[in-house]
A and B are shown apart, each in its own frame.
Chain A
Amino acid sequence: MKKQTIIAVLAATVAFAGQAYAADMVFTSWGGTTQDAQKQHWADTFSAEGGVNVTQDGPTDYGKLKAMVESKNVAWDVVDVEGDYAVQAGNAGLLEKLDFSIIDKTKLDPRFVTDYSVGSFYYSFVIGCNKDAVDACPQSWADLFDLAKFPGKRTFYKWSAPGVIEAALLADGVPADKLYPLDLDRAFKKLDTIKSEIVWWDSGAQSQQLLASAEAPFGSFWNGRLTALAQTGVTVETSWTNNITAADALVVPKGTKNKEAAMKFIANATSDKAQAEFATMTGYAPINTDSPKLMDEDLRKTLPDQQAETQVNADMSYWAAHRDEIGTRWYAWQAK
């Protein structure tokens, strides 16, 4: 008897949980101030209009995403991923094709649109410097890689992703239009020269902590994190010289139970208004080409899309094709 009761309760719980999921959809991103903005301007507005409840989850984890798809138990409906991963995962069959009858791609920056993904927002790796802590700030990647001119600790993104390798090659004198295919030997050799002085940041929050405390008074940062840090009263100097752009992407894992809701969510998130409001709050650039005109003029000047002069676009399809190879080498080099 008792056993049956327990089973009945368990079954009811499972059924209830399943139902709760069916009525909702889940959006997964990287947490922190970025996901707060995504929730406020993408998810909450979407729920208010369409009545679909959006549950937030995170952080994004490619291992988890793969596990969900393979076990056919997909709990995430829309996921914010890095652009190069989106291309690779699409090719690997982990993603649903996007429904462009629901998502209007004519207004979206074509650099960030594939069959399986659209841009989420785009950002630049820029050179940030805590002006209160040092007399002079590095102005170029070459400066940031110059220990004689700028001694002391500097901070870079820890994970294997577009950004640091490009910066090393630019610092070593490779012209911006000759970066790809990446000369990894040359990049690692250049990185070796400053390795002992690198402190790695593995999350946006940590990068802000390192810069604000002057543990590393300069380094390479996501531009939006510097904007946010400057708002807290830290004197941040940003150099946009050869800023390296990369984009996050919105994708739908294969086998989602809420495919239609997911497509509608993406349509809303990439709309001109949602993109403009998100960009206003985070300092990242909108990927909807109609968004800039909805934004405050002064604020627009701080966005990466206004820094096109010396801008370098990280080549997402190159990275997608070589992601594993570069990653394996990157982590092995770090551990040395």
Chain B
Amino acid sequence: MVLSATTDGGERKIRRNGSFGYVVPALLLIAFFFIIPVLMLLMRSVLEPTPGLQNYQELLGSTTYLRVFLNTFTVAGLVTVVAVVIGFPVAWLLAIMPDKWSRLVMAIIVLSMWTNLLARTYAWMVLLQRTGVVNKMLMSLGIIDKPLALVNNLVGVTIGMTYIMLPFVILPLIGILKAIDPAILRAAALCGANKRQCFTRVLLPLSLPGIASGALMVFVMSLGYYVTPALLGGTSNMMLAELVAQFVQSLVNWGMGGAAALVLLLVTMVLYAIQLKFLNPNRAR
């Protein structure tokens, strides 16, 4: 969205030419293979086993399931914060590097996104387990004498997911950071701002739209994540997607599965609406 802002003139031209027809195949695809099946699943949430809202009552009335909701938000929130804190300096470096270097670093970042998700997650498992590379290294360096619990818990999920989500913070941020005129920072320094003030009072506010859109994207994607939490987390950090999988695959209780999926979808849509309303980069400009 940040990168593909069209001008009003361009939009008008497209409408005048009647080229809207070109999006019809995509819309049909989404309608048939996404919207209709989702609606059918949602119908089950109010029809199975008997018509009514009992599935929602059970889902929202049970402390266990509320815990799963809480876990989901905790993990998504943690991942978002860590990804932004780590991603911002990377994005800033990429924005100010000479082009040929930044292209290389970008390629490395994007390359990680092209590697199979399951392979990457298993790799983390091997790295982080008690007898894994990380623990062995720390122990041989004498930093710790007992292995740290880095996997099958919140730590493991956060590490694994942050790593996967990083590019989604970095990529939108670069665009915003590149658009900031370095002269503004020089001007701030000349006016007597120290490095800290340059950052908190000039750079940070200017890059806020990029941070916000990256953070929201990561948060929303994290809410629905399945594989990584299932493999790197313990059952006490269970997230919503895993709950849905249990209902649909193991218990074959599609009513409850549909209800849990709808709640997740609603939360995601509300967050997306907030993004559209308040964080539209075109409007901010």
Interface flags, A322-336, vs B, CB<8A=1, else 0: 001001100110111
Q: Which of B125, B131, B151, B251 contacts A214 (CB under 8 A)?
A: B131
Q: List 22 A-B contacts (CB under 8 A).
A: A62-B252, A63-B257, A66-B254, A160-B251, A200-B152, A202-B230, A209-B125, A214-B130, A215-B130, A215-B131, A215-B151, A324-B253, A327-B246, A331-B246, A331-B250, A334-B236, A335-B64, A335-B67, A335-B235, A335-B243, A336-B67, A336-B236
In the complex the two chains form, is B236's CB within 8 Å of A63's CB? Answer: no
Q: Which of B151, B234, B248 contacts A200 (CB under 8 A)?
A: B234
A182 within 8 A of B: no
- Which 9 residue pairs spanning A and B have beta carbons closest together? A334-B235, A332-B64, A63-B248, A215-B129, A63-B249, A335-B238, A327-B251, A62-B252, A213-B131
- Output the least CB separation between B173 and chain A (Å): 35
In the complex the two chains form, is B238's CB within 8 Å of A334's CB? Answer: yes
B19 within 8 A of A: no
- Output the least CB separation between B6 and chain A (Å): 28
- Nearest B residue to A195 via CB reads B236
In the complex the two chains form, is A66's CB within 8 Å of B252's CB? Answer: yes
Q: How would you classify the secondary structure of chain B's contact residues: helix, strand, loop or mixed?
A: helix
In the complex the two chains form, is A199's CB within 8 Å of B152's CB? Answer: yes
In the complex the two chains form, is A63's CB within 8 Å of B131's CB? Answer: no
Q: Which of B65, B67, B132, B250 contacts A159 (CB under 8 A)?
A: B250
Expressed in whole angstroms, the Cα–Cα distance for A198 and B196 within the complex equals 46
In the complex the two chains form, is B234's CB within 8 Å of A213's CB? Answer: no
Expressed in whole angstroms, the Cα–Cα distance for A214 and B67 within the complex equals 31
Which residues of A line the B interface, CB within 8 A?
A: 61-64, 66, 153, 158-160, 199-200, 202, 209, 213-215, 324, 327-328, 331-332, 334-336
Across-interface contacts of B235 in A (CB, < 8 A): 158, 200, 334-335
- Nearest B residue to A155 via CB reads B152
Across-interface contacts of A153 in B (CB, < 8 A): 130
In the complex the two chains form, is B250's CB within 8 Å of A335's CB? Answer: no
Which residues of B line the A interface, CB within 8 A?
A: 62, 64-65, 67-68, 71, 125-126, 129-132, 151-152, 230, 234-236, 238, 243, 246, 248-254, 257
- Which of B126, B129, B243, B254 counts the most chain A CB atoms within 10 A? B129
Across-interface contacts of B68 in A (CB, < 8 A): 335
In the complex the two chains form, is B250's CB within 8 Å of A160's CB? Answer: yes
- Nearest A residue to B126 via CB reads A213
Across-interface contacts of A63 in B (CB, < 8 A): 248-249, 252, 254, 257
Expressed in whole angstroms, the Cα–Cα distance for A336 and B68 within the complex equals 9
Across-interface contacts of A160 in B (CB, < 8 A): 250-251
Expressed in whole angstroms, the Cα–Cα distance for A160 and B235 within the complex equals 13
Expressed in whole angstroms, the Cα–Cα distance for A62 and B249 within the complex equals 5
Expressed in whole angstroms, the Cα–Cα distance for A332 and B252 within the complex equals 16
- Nearest A residue to B122 via CB reads A209
- Which of B67, B130, B151, B253 counts the most chain A CB atoms within 10 A? B130
- Output the least CB separation between A93 and chain B (Å): 13
Across-interface contacts of A213 in B (CB, < 8 A): 126, 129, 131-132
Expressed in whole angstroms, the Cα–Cα distance for A106 and B129 within the complex equals 49
Across-interface contacts of B234 in A (CB, < 8 A): 199-200
- Output the least CB separation between A89 and chain B (Å): 9
- Nearest A residue to B25 via CB reads A6
In the complex the two chains form, is A328's CB within 8 Å of B251's CB? Answer: yes
Expressed in whole angstroms, the Cα–Cα distance for A272 and B131 within the complex equals 43
- Nearest B residue to A6 via CB reads B25
In the complex the two chains form, is B236's CB within 8 Å of A335's CB? Answer: yes
Across-interface contacts of A331 in B (CB, < 8 A): 243, 246, 250-251
Across-interface contacts of B230 in A (CB, < 8 A): 202
- Output the least CB separation between A67 and chain B (Å): 9
Across-interface contacts of A199 in B (CB, < 8 A): 152, 234
- Output the least CB separation between B247 and chain A (Å): 9
Expressed in whole angstroms, the Cα–Cα distance for A159 and B249 within the complex equals 11
Expressed in whole angstroms, the Cα–Cα distance for A61 and B257 within the complex equals 15
Expressed in whole angstroms, the Cα–Cα distance for A92 and B248 within the complex equals 16
Expressed in whole angstroms, the Cα–Cα distance for A220 and B152 within the complex equals 18
- Output the least CB separation between A279 and chain B (Å): 27
- With A200-B235, A332-B64 known as contacts, the answer to whether A61 contacts B130 (CB < 8 A) is no
- Nearest A residue to B125 via CB reads A209
Across-interface contacts of B71 in A (CB, < 8 A): 335
Expressed in whole angstroms, the Cα–Cα distance for A328 and B132 within the complex equals 34
- Output the least CB separation between B209 and chain A (Å): 37
Across-interface contacts of A61 in B (CB, < 8 A): 249
- Nearest B residue to A335 via CB reads B238
Expressed in whole angstroms, the Cα–Cα distance for A168 and B69 within the complex equals 29
- Which of A64, A213, A335 counts the most chain B CB atoms within 10 A? A335
- Which of A61, A63, A213 counts the most chain B CB atoms within 10 A? A63
Expressed in whole angstroms, the Cα–Cα distance for A202 and B121 within the complex equals 15
Across-interface contacts of A66 in B (CB, < 8 A): 252, 254
- Nearest A residue to B147 via CB reads A215
Across-interface contacts of A62 in B (CB, < 8 A): 249-250, 252
- Nearest A residue to B235 via CB reads A334
- Output the least CB separation between B60 and chain A (Å): 14
Expressed in whole angstroms, the Cα–Cα distance for A291 and B64 within the complex equals 47
- Nearest B residue to A92 via CB reads B252
- Output the least CB separation between A119 and chain B (Å): 21
- Nearest A residue to B129 via CB reads A215
- Nearest B residue to A60 via CB reads B249
Across-interface contacts of B254 in A (CB, < 8 A): 63, 66
- Output the least CB separation between B129 and chain A (Å): 4
Expressed in whole angstroms, the Cα–Cα distance for A335 and B69 within the complex equals 11
Expressed in whole angstroms, the Cα–Cα distance for A332 and B61 within the complex equals 13
Expressed in whole angstroms, the Cα–Cα distance for A334 and B243 within the complex equals 11
- Nearest A residue to B128 via CB reads A215
